[in-house]
């Protein structure tokens, strides 16, 4: 038996009947009931570590019960800046710098396909969920003319290769919704949910269901080059010894498009200067093909 501080627990529900003493001939009745944690909010985990409730009746008790409360605080870093476009040549997709986001998970949040619960507790009491962020080139345009010109590119957004579903099935770690996905598979009764900022679901979770096209439209100034970038994230779940659980999950966030414009302007030929017209009014950047629109521009 343990006494736990009130701020470390949360009100839970009485679960299913575990055992009762019907037919024992005892003077007093006794029934034992499980504890079911409520749905955890983002950034928290609720756990019933084998706890139970005793009741002096065979009816389901209406007594207040509790489960443990734990924080799933992610160590978030600033997002990497989009690559600066220095010239008028198409940039390499490998030029982007990366940043690492980390969330430590207790062992009971992971159904490790290669370890039993006892082996997890002994060899990997915590797991490390890493998110590596980089900007991926979504389109490049070089306007060689004397007036602004429209450019349109089609990029892919959302989760690629279906590994997020495999991760949820194999380990219980679901990046787009609350855990557990299959509660009957786990040793301990728990409920958990990652922070929405960590999983890119603070704006919309629709991108997790499948990969879909994203159309990017912008006007490029005369004699300028512009590159469009999307934030791309890769998720890896690691044991304490560094070995990886399940496959890497790749996700491209379609809620933001980052634009990088060349800092210099190519000189116009003499004949073009003579024929140059007054510059046209440039419409705002348009992004279509997803549920939310963000016209954030990063020079």
Claim to verify: residue 63 and residue 152 sit in the same structural domain: no
Give me the residues of the chain with pLDDT under 70, please: 94-95, 181-187, 202-207, 209, 266-299
Cα→Cα distances 90→6, 150, 152, 236, Å: 59, 17, 15, 30
**Residue 13, domain extent:** 6-70
**What is the pTM assigned to this prediction?**
0.80
Claim to verify: residue 135 and residue 213 sit in the same structural domain: yes
Burial profile 12-51: b = 16 or more Cβ within 10 angstroms, e = fewer: bebbeeeeeeeeeeeeeeebebbbbbeebebbbbbbbeeb
251 within a domain of the structure (yes/no): yes
Query: How many whole angstroms from its chain centre is CA 19?
Result: 40
C-beta of residue 148 within 8 angstroms of C-beta of residue 280: yes
Q: How high is the pLDDT of residue 54?
A: 92
C-beta of residue 71 within 8 angstroms of C-beta of residue 87: no
1 within a domain of the structure (yes/no): no
**What residues pair up with 14 in beta bridges, in sequence order?**
35
Claim to verify: residue 212 and residue 158 sit in the same structural domain: yes
Hey, what are 170's tokens?
């194999």
Q: How far apart are CA 57 and CA 113, in angstroms?
A: 40
How many domains are contained in the chain?
2
Domain final residue, candidates 54, 70, 86:
70
Claim to verify: residue 82 and residue 58 sit in the same structural domain: no
Q: Which three-class secondary structure state does DSSP give residue 122? A: helix
Q: How high is the pLDDT of residue 202?
A: 60
Claim to verify: residue 98 and residue 191 sit in the same structural domain: yes
Q: How high is the pLDDT of residue 174?
A: 87
Q: How far apart are CA 256 and CA 214, in angstroms?
A: 11
Query: How many whole angstroms from its chain centre is CA 296?
Result: 21
Query: How many whole angstroms from its chain centre is CA 139?
Result: 24
Claim to verify: residue 25 and residue 126 sit in the same structural domain: no
Q: How high is the pLDDT of residue 76?
A: 87
C-beta of residue 245 within 8 angstroms of C-beta of residue 110: yes
Claim to verify: residue 104 and residue 38 sit in the same structural domain: no
Q: How far apart are CA 267 and CA 276, in angstroms?
A: 12
299 within a domain of the structure (yes/no): no
Domain final residue, candidates 22, 44, 70:
70
């Amino acid at each position: 038996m343990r006494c736990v501080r009130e701020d470390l627990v949360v009100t839970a529900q009485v679960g299913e009947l575990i055992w009762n003493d019907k037919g024992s001939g005892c003077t007093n009745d006794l029934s034992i009931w499980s504890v079911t944690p409520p749905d955890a909010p983002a950034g928290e985990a609720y756990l019933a570590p084998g706890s139970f409730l005793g009741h002096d009746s065979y009816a389901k008790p209406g007594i207040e019960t509790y489960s443990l409360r734990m924080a799933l605080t992610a160590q978030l870093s600033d997002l990497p800046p989009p690559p600066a476009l220095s010239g008028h040549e198409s940039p390499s997709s490998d030029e982007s710098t990366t940043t690492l986001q980390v969330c430590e998970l207790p062992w009971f949040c992971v159904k490790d396909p290669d370890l039993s619960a006892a082996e997890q507790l002994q060899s990997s009491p915590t797991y490390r969920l890493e998110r590596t962020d980089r900007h991926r080139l979504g389109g490049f345009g070089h306007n060689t003319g004397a007036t602004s010109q429209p450019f349109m590119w089609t990029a892919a957004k959302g989760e690629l290769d279906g590994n997020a579903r495999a991760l949820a099935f194999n380990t219980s770690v679901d990046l787009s919704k609350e855990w557990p996905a299959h509660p009957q598979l786990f040793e301990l009764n728990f409920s958990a949910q990652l922070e929405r900022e960590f999983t890119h679901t603070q704006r919309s979770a629709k991108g997790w269901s499948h990969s879909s096209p994203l159309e990017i439209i912008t006007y490029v100034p005369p004699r300028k080059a512009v590159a469009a970038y999307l934030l791309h994230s890769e998720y890896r779940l690691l044991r304490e010894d560094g070995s990886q659980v399940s496959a890497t999950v790749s996700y491209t966030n379609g809620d933001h498009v980052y634009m990088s414009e060349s800092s210099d302007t190519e000189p116009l030929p003499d004949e073009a200067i003579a024929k140059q017209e007054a510059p046209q009014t440039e419409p705002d950047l348009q992004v279509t093909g997803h549920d939310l629109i963000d016209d954030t521009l990063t020079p």
